[in-house]
Structure 1
Amino acid sequence: MEMLVDLHTHTISSGHAYSTISENALAASRKGLKLLGMTDHGPSMLGAPSLYHFGNLSILPQELYGVAILPGVEANIISHEGELDIPANYLVRMKLVLAGLHEFCYPGGTVEQNTQAYIKAMENPFTDMMVHPGRPEFELDLEKIAHKSAQLNVPVEINNSSLSSGKKITQENCHRFARYMAKYKGPVILGSDAHYWDRVGVFDRSLELIRDVGIKDDQVFNTSPDRVLDYLVMRRKKRFNTQSA
């Protein structure tokens, strides 16, 4: 399986990442990637950029070093109702919106509350993909999330950084979630979650995991830039239809 896409990467703007978009794009080019997401953390994360940063993303070039760039955000879920920390009038202009749960941004809750928050964010027409459900800070019903992903056709990430964390519970969660994704056959995105340029396009552990659990090649978006871009066009049509209703 040839990996041509990495949609979950961070730049120095995230506050706790250490490379520029140019450095990340050059690393992506050298690894043969064709499509790169720039998804810095939303403003409720400690050290993250302000809304003004996200309002100015249109100045970025569409391509660097032969790699197409999708400027966007890793938005933070901030309530049990799945609210995101980026207003809709900003989200509508972004080329890529990831959403996930993070410490300091989300209040925490029961398994049911956390799962509801995650699924509500997945149902949001402004959300394109969901990230790192295997992280242990907030317990989730991972089977329910995998089932909902298949129902909604919204990709959920197998996060390489989570698998590399060395935390047993994180790795167990990721393996359990991957097995549910194999069972329900929902769409999958592998994400490096790179916070430094040398991690861009690194999917070693996530590739091993999806092979182990039997996730099919056609579930995985990373092999086809065109498939990702077609999916994002479809999501934007859904946004327009939702706003027009």
Structure 2
Amino acid sequence: MLRNACDIHTHTIYSRHAYSTIEENVRAAAELRLELLGCTEHFSSMLHPAVAAGDGRLACDTRDYQYFYNFGCWPRVWHGVRLLHGCEADIVDLKGNLYGHDIMIDEGITGDVESPATLKERVFSRCDYVIASVHGRDFAREANLSVTTNMYLSALQDPKVLVLGHPVRGRVPFEHREVVRAAKELHKLIEINAHSLDSVIGHKDTIDGCQALAEVCAEEGCKIVVSSDAHISCGIGGFEPALRMLERIHFPQALIATRDAESFLQAMREGVGTTIE
């Protein structure tokens, strides 16, 4: 039986289409005796769309993002569970740019003037790690395989991106082996997303694609994470569809970075340089 003691892709009510608080999620993790929980809210236009500023740039209301700014008030261990701060950032174009890269911020949540920086820089600086995912895929509909593969390769180059999130469910085709090899070289991780395999949204092509991707990861020796992508506390730790698939293909336990807390913390140190005491 494969072991998976960390859930590093989860959401709270901040993500707007999720339903539980951070403490409800932590308590759910504690009840399951998970060792580590990562909270990765959506960082995306689906929550708070940017608007055109008068000078032609994009702008936003900084107050919409103060949730990320105040991560410091969270305990690092809560109800016996290690707690990490993250976000799930949308890949927004074929260059592999991530949401917020083109939105300039020059004030804090109280309106105080700050040195100019992008929204992405502001939010990422407060995250332990970032999951990069595709949700809206219209920008990639006419792109060929080489271009979409390079999109993912570019996203993996971001210093704060540790995990490529549900890449099969994003429905943007790419060369699996090329992306997996790059992820291994960069010490980044490929997500096997249990929600992509469940009976609610798991279509046959998605399930087959996830298995094919996992098989390439095993062949290339690239580490993965197994995550619930829970949007409600009762979904925390819901790894079963993913673990069943991985057991069916005899996936190596040693390549599952979420097998225990120390393994994921070590992967985080190697992949994005974040050290948690």
| Alignment TM-score, normalising by the size of structure 1 | 0.89
Report % sequence identity.
29
Does 2:257 match 1:225? no
Structure 2 Cα separation of the partners of residues 63 and 188 of structure 1: 24
Q: In the alignment, is the contact (CA less than 8 A) between 1:80 and 1:114 conserved in 2?
A: yes
Which residue type is aligned with residue 159 of structure 2? P
Deviation, structure 1 residue 12: 0.7
Within-5 A mapping of 1:138-157? 138-157=172-191
Alignment-derived partner of residue 20 in structure 2: 19
Q: In the alignment, is the contact (CA less than 8 A) between 1:103 and 1:137 conserved in 2?
A: no
TM-aligned CA distance change 1:175 to 1:167, over 3 Å: same
TM-aligned CA distance change 1:117 to 1:51, over 3 Å: farther
Which residue type is aligned with residue 203 of structure 2? K
Which residue type is aligned with residue 107 of structure 1? F
Structure 1 Cα separation of the partners of residues 268 and 157 of structure 2: 15
How big is each residue's C-alpha offset from its partner over 1:33-92, in whole Å with a ceiling of 9 and x where there is no partner? Answer: 010000000032246893332222222222221111101100111111111114224312
How big is each residue's C-alpha offset from its partner over 1:5-31, in whole Å with a ceiling of 9 and x where there is no partner? Answer: 010001011111111111111110011
**Per residue, is there more helix in 1 or in 2?**
1
- Secondary structure of the equivalent of 2:84? strand
TM-aligned CA distance change 1:113 to 1:139, over 3 Å: same
Alignment-derived partner of residue 212 in structure 2: 176
Does 2:226 match 1:190? yes
Alignment-derived partner of residue 158 in structure 2: 124
Structure 1 Cα separation of the partners of residues 209 and 7 of structure 2: 22
Does 2:66 match 1:52? yes
Structure 1 Cα separation of the partners of residues 87 and 5 of structure 2: 20
Q: In the alignment, is the contact (CA less than 8 A) between 2:3 and 2:253 conserved in 1?
A: no
TM-aligned CA distance change 1:124 to 1:56, over 3 Å: same
**Per residue, is there more strand in 1 or in 2?**
2
Q: In the alignment, is the contact (CA less than 8 A) between 1:160 and 1:190 conserved in 2?
A: yes
Alignment-derived partner of residue 70 in structure 1: 84
Does 2:193 match 1:159? yes
Which residue type is aligned with residue 108 of structure 1? A
Alignment-derived partner of residue 103 in structure 2: none
Alignment-derived partner of residue 124 in structure 2: 91
Structure 2 Cα separation of the partners of residues 193 and 185 of structure 1: 24
Larger mean Cα displacement after TM superposition, 7-16 or 148-157: 148-157
Structure 2 Cα separation of the partners of residues 205 and 19 of structure 1: 22
TM-aligned CA distance change 1:28 to 1:236, over 3 Å: same
Deviation, structure 1 residue 236: 4.3
Q: In the alignment, is the contact (CA less than 8 A) between 1:136 and 1:173 conserved in 2?
A: no
Structure 2 Cα separation of the partners of residues 170 and 237 of structure 1: 32
Structure 2 Cα separation of the partners of residues 167 and 42 of structure 1: 26
Alignment-derived partner of residue 135 in structure 1: 169
TM-aligned CA distance change 1:45 to 1:112, over 3 Å: farther
Which residue type is aligned with residue 23 of structure 2? S
Structure 2 Cα separation of the partners of residues 83 and 50 of structure 1: 21
| Alignment TM-score, normalising by the size of structure 2 | 0.79
Structure 2 Cα separation of the partners of residues 60 and 107 of structure 1: 36
Larger mean Cα displacement after TM superposition, 39-48 or 73-82: 39-48
Which residue type is aligned with residue 72 of structure 2? S
Alignment-derived partner of residue 242 in structure 1: none
Structure 2 Cα separation of the partners of residues 235 and 90 of structure 1: 18
Q: In the alignment, is the contact (CA less than 8 A) between 1:136 and 1:169 conserved in 2?
A: no
Deviation, structure 1 residue 178: 1.1
Deviation, structure 1 residue 136: 5.0
TM-aligned CA distance change 1:126 to 1:114, over 3 Å: same
Q: In the alignment, is the contact (CA less than 8 A) between 1:185 and 1:215 conserved in 2?
A: no
2:135 to 63, 77, 102: 102
Alignment-derived partner of residue 82 in structure 1: 96
Q: In the alignment, is the contact (CA less than 8 A) between 1:156 and 1:189 conserved in 2?
A: yes
